[in-house]
Amino acid sequence: MEFTAIILAGGQGTRMKSPLPKVLHPVAGQPMIARVIGTCRQAGITQVRVVVGHGQSLVKTVLEPLNVSTHVQEQQLGTANAVQSANLESLETDVIIMNGDHPLITDQDLKNFISDFKEQQLDLAVITVELDNPAEFGRIVRKHDQLVSIVEAKDASMETLKIREVNTGIYLAKASVLKKYIPLIKNNNSKKEFYLTDLIDLALTDRLKVQALLSKNTDVAHGVNNQAELAEATKKVFQSKTKKLMENGVIFIDPQATHVEEGVIIGAGSVIYPGAFIRGKTAIGAFTVIEPNCFISDSIIGDSVHMKAGSYIEQVIIKNKASVGPYARLRPETTIGESAHVGNFVEMKKVNFGNKSKAGHLTYLGDAEIGEDVNIGCGTITCNYAADKKKYKTVIGDRVFVGSDTQLVAPVTVESDSLIASGTTVTKNVPAGALALSRSPQVNKEGYAKKFQKKSES
């Protein structure tokens, strides 16, 4: 779309009371500024200019991969001065001006504004909303329905403060309008700032086509100025995500108590219990159950998977019909095969765990290739980290039975169909079909128990 976005993100955000620049505060896991830029992209706006100021070096590092141009506003002299910093002379398209701290605006909102602006062939438009509590917002003054001016709350009379229609801080303008009028704005107001709102007065004086476009979505005016407004924005994003998922047949026991980030995909018929936190690029199939308090990040989970309570899953692939947990910890680069079972207090890191294999209890597997239909007994440990501070691999073939309390000292290979007796420390490769056993023979000394107990009492 032939439109340029100018996003104002130079302000300090004093009321956030936080060392982080305001626009870097995350809303549902994504920095506010990245969210606003992402929304522009979804609306088809390819050219994005961001005005930075306070905390600019940190803000720039976040902007770096987002393919935007950054423009430094040396001193925060007001919103008009911020726009002026965006190299207006080089503008070739119509422009939408947005605030970096209004994270709830949607691509559909932007598309609506742009199509209204084009349809009505306007020179300048300001987006407004009606609020029950207009608080500190600039008031929209109309005469016979026509926009007359925007008055900042601080400069407004008691009568003007009663107006409920407010300035969202979003404007659409022809490039020529910005080029001509922004430099003419003066700072004769209570804050001694260059107000972007004065653009309206200048354009109206010159009889340009200017409109206040009333948006039904009041969320476009949700500015984040403090931590409470940030938390509220995050809550709204999570709620709208669960709502969308429910519309697509995902079952939530308590949607308010469940957090699913926007990028997550979940198939119909899956059930998500309260306390689940699902983030990043996670995809979950159909008919999968995620029990309470599971944390799932950047993972691919198949159909009919059962993830039991309290599991912690990062960058993992879990195939169809597998079951995991309760209290499983699966770390990056782990794949759990189809119909496999990973039980309680099992940790895995960099493991390929084959179809139908089982590790039911209290086990650590790291840097391991584990075949199909393998049984890993309780208390099995791969000793993958050696004294030379290097990691070594354990390879286990198909249908191996690993008895309880086995240590596999890597590098080691256990071939298919073999059996490892419980309590064995495996230090040598085990050939296919063999029994591996390393136990010191048991000695029973008759009557010793009593003797020993007496001794220790005295």
Binding residues are 22, 73, 78-79, 101, 138, 152, 167, 225, 331, 349, 364, 375, 384-385, 404, 422, 439
Of 81 and 406, nearer to ligand UD1 (C-beta) is 81
Helix or strand holding residue 253 (H, E): none
Residues 161-190 that bind ligand UD1 (CB under 6 A): 166-169
Q: Per CB under 6 A, does 55 bind ligand UD1?
A: no
Beta pairing partners, 98: 7
Distance CA 26, CA 33 (A): 9
Of 169 and 267, nearer to ligand UD1 (C-beta) is 169
Distance CA 56, CA 70 (A): 9
Distance CA 272, CA 277 (A): 10
Of 137 and 364, nearer to Ca ion (C-beta) is 137
Q: Per CB under 6 A, does 73 bind ligand UD1?
A: yes
77 binds, among Ca ion, ligand UD1, none (CB under 5 to 8 A by kind): ligand UD1
Which 3 state secondary structure label does DSSP give 107? helix
CB of 220 to ligand UD1, least distance (A): 10
195 binds, among ligand UD1, Ca ion, none (CB under 5 to 8 A by kind): ligand UD1
Residues 223-242 that bind Ca ion (CB under 5 A): 223
Region of residue 215 (left: phi > 0; alpha: psi -120 to 50; beta: else): beta
Dihedral, 74, 77, 82, 83 alpha carbons, nearest 10: -130
36 binds, among ligand UD1, Ca ion, none (CB under 5 to 8 A by kind): none
Which 3 state secondary structure label does DSSP give 47? strand
DSSP 118-133: HHTT-SEEEEEEE-SS
Q: Enumerate the known binding-site residues for UDP-N-acetyl-alpha-D-glucosamine.
A: 22, 73, 78-79, 138, 152, 167, 225, 331, 349, 364, 375
Distance CA 328, CA 307 (A): 9
CB of 144 to ligand UD1, least distance (A): 22
Q: Per CB under 6 A, does 39 bind ligand UD1?
A: no
Q: Enumerate the known binding-site residues for Mg(2+).
A: 101, 225
Q: Is the dihedral of CA 364, 367, 371, 372 positive or negative?
A: positive
CB of 73 to ligand UD1, least distance (A): 5
Residue 191 C-alpha from the chain's centroid: 37
Choices 71-79, 157-165, 266-274, 277-285 (CB under 6 A): range interacting with ligand UD1:
71-79
DSSP 171-191: EEE-HHHHHHHGGG----STT
Q: Per CB under 5 A, does 103 bind Ca ion?
A: no
Distance CA 333, CA 247 (A): 32
DSSP 261-285: -TT-EE-TT-EE-TT-EEETT-EE-
Q: Per CB under 6 A, does 9 bind ligand UD1?
A: yes
CB distance 391 to 409 below 8 Å: no
User: Which residue in 54, 144, 341, 361 is the catalytic one?
Assistant: 361
- State yes or no: is 102 an active-site residue: no
DSSP conformation class of 442: P
User: What character string, x for contact with Ca ion (CB under 5 A) and - otherwise, covers 310-339?
Assistant: ------------------------------
User: What character string, x for contact with ligand UD1 (CB under 6 A) and - otherwise, covers 110-149?
Assistant: ---------------------------xx-----------
Which residues contact ligand UD1 (rule: CB under 6 A)?
Answer: 8-11, 51, 53, 73, 76-79, 81-82, 99-101, 137-138, 150, 152, 166-169, 195-197, 223
Give the catalytic positions in this structure.
Answer: 361
Which residues contact Ca ion (rule: CB under 5 A)?
Answer: 223
